[in-house]
Structure 1
Amino acid sequence: MSSAGSAPSSPLHTANVARMYNYLLGGRENYAADRQAAEHLLAMAPGTRELAVANRRFLERAVRHAVEQEGVRQFLDHGSGLPTADNVHQIAQRHDPSAHVVYIDNDPVVLAHGRALLADGPQTAMITADVRRIEQVLDHPDVKRLIDFSEPVAALFVSVLHCVPDSGDPPGIIRRVVDRLAPGSLVVLSHLVSEDERARRRLTDFLDGVTGGNWGRVRRPEEIASWLEGLELVEPGLVEVSAWRPDPGDVPGPQSSEWIELGAVARVP
């Protein structure tokens, strides 16, 4: 659950989904409001921590696939959230030291901690931007410096677009990015979904309340599938995140009976 939209004006007293996600993953870059909200969420849905871990593992496998199997060496991580173990640049550069990564977020706490990533070298940058204003992202000087749009790029939208309300046009964000990508580029997407209208409303209302309105909504699976139309889905397609190319020894399976996170890697034809 990465951050998107307007950053909260009082981070000490208002929960933030990126910091809640950090807490669920065992991180330390969070406040009491984030921990309290995350514990309430765990009481509502005991599998939420496992869901967060499964989503992070999906990100790791997708980045590894992009480098090893697709030959992609450039990454745009939209709504990257707080740094944690095995960040995108670490995964990508482990497999190819030439990989370039730009992280995008607008939360001041994320940015303060994320600047430490720059110590890893000139091939990584973190920029302040709102993913809803995608043209500003793509035309940012650091993006122009590190990303060559004439070559394949992996555009990551991992657990971020459910933070964007419908008024922010999440599918339009993807389309506008894809319009700038070269053939062979990838879109890596994960998103909270539920078939149960009551469950969708319950989680959406809760997260909207604890974040002071800085939230989008849990959506239906078919909505997310429609966002990837026109792209080539990499097998096994759009699936629950733990079922996307699990590593040996992994035990795929949904972490909640009410909502799951769907994930996919899709290729730009």
Structure 2
Amino acid sequence: MTDASPGSVPPRIDDTIPQSARIWNYWLGGKDNYPVDQAAGDRFREVYPEIVDIARYSRLFLARAVRHLAGECGIRQFLDVGTGLPTVDNTHEVAQRAAPESRIVYVDNDPLVLTHARALLTSTPQGATDYVDADLRDTGRILAEAGRTLDLSRPVGLMLLNILGHVPDHGEAKEIVRRLLAELPAGSHLAVADGTNVVTGERFETAIKLWNEASTTPYFLRTPDQIAAYFEGLETLEPGVVPVSRWRPEPSPFEDPPEVDEFCAVGRKSA
């Protein structure tokens, strides 16, 4: 385990400023948050109540995507960048249920996530998990550290959920994805999900503006076309770029799940 080894200096956690990972945890019903996060989350929800549905459908998408990659595509290694706080059905839990030998590396640079990293490092005896404390932009370090646990000459499932929206410039975000994928072999898969403004439009934009005024980690909505651009050169799996609620939903006798303003896709690197 990197940077969170026994005896290391505990990271400093500022509980006076709301933080995105903790607010997301609050919306998901978790306990790893502070009153300042709860207050910010409640203010956001007053303006845009659909955020709770987005958080939940996003989590369900992660589980379905990982289950598909491990179960149907034979992926046995996952690099989850922008991990967030542990909740239910973390990447390693889903992957190792499908394939106990799966190996998972989590990446984040939030101090509270780091303190909870041990919860992410529980693994089956056949598999392995690790945690890297690194910024999304530091792709060289991410890959170097991940390479201690993953065999980067074999296919990897690269998970970038609700993280690329924190990069202000879309061109820079695309370059980050390109650099990460460049070091992964054919057969690797990319999963991306980020907020959009095509379903609820101005209301979500207003809520995000309030978020950015109060948060130290601003977030920038992307269009579905911008999300599709991350998959240039990849084979995008069906059903393509769709709301997270509509990506291969579980069979149900009821009507289709509602569209939400977070879109996603999964793609395969063929060369």
Q: TM-score by structure 2 length?
A: 0.89
1:70-127 residue CA offsets vs partner (Å, 9 max, x unmatched) = 1000000000000001110010000111000000000010110122222435700111
What is residue 135 of structure 1 aligned with on the other side? 140
Determine the C-alpha separation between the residues in 2 that align with 1:167 and 1:234.
22
Aligned-residue RMSD, C-alpha: 2.0
1:154 aligns with 2:157: yes
Offset, 1:204: 3.2
Offset, 1:205: 1.9
Which amino acid in the other structure matches residue 76 of structure 2? R
What is residue 61 of structure 2 aligned with on the other side? 58
1:170-210 residue CA offsets vs partner (Å, 9 max, x unmatched) = 11111111101111110000010113774464233222122
Question: Could you say if the C-alpha distance between residues 132 and 203 of structure 1 is closer, same or farther in structure 2, counting changes exceeding 3 Å?
Answer: farther
Offset, 1:31: 0.8
Which of 1 and 2 has higher RCO (CA within 8 Å, sep 6+)?
A: 1
Equivalenced residues, count: 255
Counterpart selection for 1:125 from 118, 124, 130: 130
Offset, 1:168: 8.3
Q: Secondary structure at the residue paired with 2:104?
A: strand
1:67 aligns with 2:60: no
Determine the C-alpha separation between the residues in 1 that align with 2:142 and 2:245.
30
What is residue 252 of structure 1 aligned with on the other side? 257
Q: Secondary structure at the residue paired with 1:14?
A: coil
1:32 aligns with 2:35: yes
What is residue 262 of structure 1 aligned with on the other side? 263
What is residue 95 of structure 1 aligned with on the other side? 98
What is residue 203 of structure 1 aligned with on the other side? 207
Determine the C-alpha separation between the residues in 1 that align with 2:242 and 2:76.
25
What is residue 5 of structure 1 aligned with on the other side? none
Q: Which runs of 5 or more residues in structure 2 are unaligned?
A: 1-11
What is residue 220 of structure 1 aligned with on the other side? 223
Question: Could you say if the C-alpha distance between residues 229 and 199 of structure 1 is closer, same or farther in structure 2, counting changes exceeding 3 Å?
Answer: farther
Which amino acid in the other structure matches residue 111 of structure 1? L
Q: TM-score by structure 1 length?
A: 0.89
Q: Percent identity?
A: 38
Q: Secondary structure at the residue paired with 2:24?
A: helix
Q: Is contact 1:132–1:168 with CA below 8 Å preserved after alignment?
A: no
Offset, 1:151: 0.8
